[in-house]
Structure 1
Amino acid sequence: MNLIMHALAGASIGVLNGLFGAGGGIVAVSFLKKLDGEAKSAHATAILITLFLSAASSYMYVTRGNVTFSDALPYLPGGIIGAVVGALFLKKIPDFWLRKVFAVFILYSATRLLFR
Structure 2
Amino acid sequence: MQKRGTWLRAGLTGAAAGAVNGLFGAGGGMLLLPLLHRLTDLREHEAFACSVCTMLPLSVVSLVVYWLRGGEFLTAALPYLAGGALGGIAAGLLLRRLSAVWLHRALGALIVWGGLRLLLR
Same-fold call, TM > 0.5?
yes
Q: d(CA) in 1 for partners of 2:72 and 2:44?
A: 34
Q: Which runs of 5+ in 1 are unaligned?
A: none
Q: d(CA) in 1 for partners of 2:28 and 2:57?
A: 12
**1:17–1:23 CA contact under 8 A, matched in 2:** yes
User: More helix per residue: 1 or 2?
Assistant: 1
Amino acid at match of 1:2: G
Q: Which residue is equivalent to 1:42? A: 47
Q: Which residue is equivalent to 1:13? A: 17
* Matched pairs, number: 116
Q: What is the Cα deviation at residue 108 of structure 1?
A: 1.2
Q: Which residue is equivalent to 2:5? A: 2
Moved segments of 4+, more than 2 Å? none
Q: Give TM-score scaled by structure 2 length.
A: 0.87
SS at match of 1:2: coil
Q: d(CA) in 2 for partners of 1:40 and 1:67?
A: 36
Q: Which of 10, 24, 27 is the aligned partner of 1:23?
A: 27
Q: Does 1:100 align with 2:105?
A: yes
- Identity fraction in percent: 35
Q: Which residue is equivalent to 1:74? A: 79
Deviates further, 60-69 or 71-80: 60-69
